[in-house]
Each structure stands twice: as C-alpha cells, then as structure tokens.
Structure 1
Amino acid sequence: MRALIAAAAGLAAALALILTVTAVGAPSGTTSPKPLLTTVPTHP
C-alpha cells in the first residue's frame, strides 16, 4: 500500500512540474547565429 501511495505522489509531483513548465512557457531570448564548435581547431 505504501508503494502505491509513493507512486501516486511521484506521479502527481511530475504532473505538477509539467503543468508549471507549460504555464510559464518557453524562456524569451535569442539564439546565436554562429554555430557551436564541437572540435578544437588545429593549428598547422
């Protein structure tokens, strides 16, 4: 019975977090036009 209550509490917390993020929305901002470098440039 305790496991069922713990699972229900965890599910409710996760749902509340998802609803909160959805209500707040995406953060406003701009992205950089420059691509990110994934490797270290080599010097000849």
Structure 2
Amino acid sequence: MRALIAAAVGLAAALALVMTITAIGAPAGSTSPKPLMTTVPRHP
C-alpha cells in the first residue's frame, strides 16, 4: 500500500512540474543560422 501511495505522489509531482513548465512557456531566443559541427575538421 505504501508503494502505491508513493507512486501516486511521485506521479502527481511529475505532472505538476510538467504543467508548470508548460504554463511558463519556452524561453525567448532564436536559433543560430550556422550549422553545428558534428565532427572535428581534418587538417591536410
């Protein structure tokens, strides 16, 4: 029974966190127009 209560409390806390982040919204800003380098450039 304690495990069920602990799971319910954890789920409620996680749901509250997700709802809070959703309500706040994404941070303001923009993405870079330059592509990201995924590998180290090879020097000749």
TM-score (structure 1 length as normaliser): 0.94
- Runs of 4+ residues over 2 Å off in structure 1: none
Identity %: 80
In the alignment, structure 2 segments of 5+ residues that lack a partner are none
Task: Kindly tell me the number of residue pairs found equivalent between the two proteins.
Answer: 44
Indicate the RMSD between aligned Cα atoms, in angstroms: 0.5
The whole-number CA distance in structure 1 between the counterparts of 2:15 and 2:42 is 47
TM-score (norm 2): 0.94
Q: Which runs of 5+ in 1 are unaligned?
A: none
